[in-house]
Amino acid sequence: MAENPSEHPSRGITPMQQMLASGTGALFTSLFVTPLDVVKIRLQAQRTPFSKVLSVQSMPWSIHQPKWKCFLYCNGLMDHLYVCQNGNSCTAWYKTPTRFTGTLDAFVKIIRYEGVRSLWSGLPPTLVMAVPATVIYFTSYDQLRDFLRAKMDSQGRYIPLVAGAIARLGAVTVISPLELIRTKMQSRQLSYRELHACIQSSVAQDGWLSLWRGWGPTVLRDVPFSALYWYNYELVKDALCRRFHLKEASFTVSFAAGGISGMVAAVLTLPFDVVKTQRQIELGNMETLQVTASKSSTWLLMRRIQAESGTRGLFAGFLPRVIKVAPACAIMISTYEFGKAFFQKMNQEQQLSSL
């Protein structure tokens, strides 16, 4: 029986080419999703402006209300916590007094009064952290999936689930200390020398594990999401290929499969996302106020949310998350698969020309 090329999508390309393909996909995804979150944060800033937050004049690190505010920026690839101090580090969110009545109105007014470039105000941190994290994640997934298939000599249905979970666990573990360091730098505007001293002090006091503070809630959301996403993606992609009699997944098939699997995974892991959002805001508050984080577990926090807001509280933000995650997943995976197909074809042509 002839071997189906779609069963080995990574065959014929190098890990470096996989990294280039995933990096390109992350860049396109960031460019598409960033305006959505810029608008969301501008609407959030409008509801609670600094004029209301800064009701007490005090030193930034006093026990009274400080001059700060936290925003959680989620670009579809990863989350970024903005810690704003005195309004200076968040001028993009407070630059005009324009009043928005809704999402569409915000898009129109930002473009009209501030220019199109303002819609990509949150792009730099995405390029600095989300793109490298995505490169590690997608390349690791492909390598792990192909390794497991070769070792098990099988196209096992659950291999994508296992590979996706392990790849995400590794990516989160690598990036988590960098995220904490970036939050420290934003919260106190530290120089690199001060940052080094701050990290040394933290490690001396609480051990090396303190650099992975916030790792647990991130893993509880991202690892199940990744496992479900890749499992469903491979199933939907294969089903669509059979339905349209395709030997390899086209760009459209990858786009549709990525969007569907991303939507399913986003809905099923939403309670963990709600908990992680609260924990990340807590992390920003902790770094800003220089206080110790609460010791409540993820499960206790989920029970508290359910007690206060019912089951609906665990699924807060359902529509915005689906609207953002589904297209982000679709763009990312289809661009990634297109890039891999491009390099595969290029390598084949080079091999033929050398004969």
Q: How far apart are CA 48 and CA 45, in angstroms?
A: 5
- Is the CB of residue 164 less than 8 Å from the CB of residue 229? yes
Within 8 A by CB and 6+ apart from 101, the residues are: none
Helices (H), 189-269: 192-206, 215-243, 251-268
Q: Is residue 98 packed enough to be buried (19+ CB in 10 Å), middle (13-18) or exposed (0-12)?
A: middle
> Measuring CA to CA, which residue among 30, 10, 264, 276 is closest to residue 134?
30
In this structure, which amino acid lies at residue 265?
Answer: A
In this structure, which amino acid lies at residue 282?
Answer: E
What stretch of H or E contains 322? Answer: helix 318-354
Helix (H, G, I), strand (E, B) or coil at 71: strand
What stretch of H or E contains 312? Answer: helix 311-314
The count of other CB atoms within 10 Å of the CB of residue 15 is 12
Place of tokens 């004969």: 355
Per-residue model confidence as pLDDT tens for the chain (355 residues): 334 444 455 668 999 999 999 999 999 998 888 888 778 767 766 655 544 444 433 334 333 444 455 666 565 566 666 656 554 555 555 555 568 888 888 889 889 888 888 888 767 766 777 788 899 999 999 999 999 988 886 667 899 999 999 999 999 888 877 766 665 555 455 566 766 776 777 677 767 777 777 677 778 888 999 999 999 999 999 999 999 999 889 999 999 999 999 999 988 888 887 777 676 666 655 555 555 555 556 677 777 777 887 777 777 777 777 888 899 999 999 999 999 999 999 999 998 888 7
- Which tokens is 8 given? 């080995």
E-only strand ranges, the chain = 68-74, 79-85
- Which tokens is 255 given? 């786009």
pTM, two decimals, is 0.77
Q: How far apart are CA 37 and CA 75, in angstroms?
A: 6
In this structure, which amino acid lies at residue 264?
Answer: V
